[in-house]
Amino acid sequence: MGQEYNWKIILRSALPVGAVLVFIFFTDIRMNFKWVFMVLGLIITYFVIYFQDKKKHNVFTGVMLVLLISLIAYALKRMGLF
């Protein structure tokens, strides 16, 4: 019994927030501000997806997608690749 994901809502709300967080993680501001912005981005993504589609698996997937994008940007910046 599979769960049906609403990828249109997930991608429409998670990718723009993830793009903003990538930009924030590549700037030279304090690390504390970066983590605060990441938490705010996760909260924004949660509420946008929750109000459009109240299924838990869609909300979780959207938030985890934003978290994954943010952590990849952080790792690339720390390794000096960008």
Phi, psi values for residue 26, rounded to 5°: -90, -5
Rounded Cα distance between 24 and 37, Å, is 8
Rounded Cα distance between 55 and 70, Å, is 23
Encoded tokens for 32: 């504390």
What pLDDT score does 53 carry?
Answer: 87
Distance of CA 76 to the CA centre of its chain: 16
Encoded tokens for 1: 């019994």
List, for residues 8-56, the tens digit of each pLDDT value. Answer: 999 999 999 999 999 999 998 999 999 999 999 999 999 999 999 888 8
What's the pTM? 0.87
Encoded tokens for 65: 């997608």
Q: Is the pLDDT of residue 1 over 60?
A: no
- Look up tokens 């927030």; give the residue: 17
List, for residues 48-80, the tens digit of each pLDDT value. Answer: 999 998 888 889 999 999 999 999 999 999 998
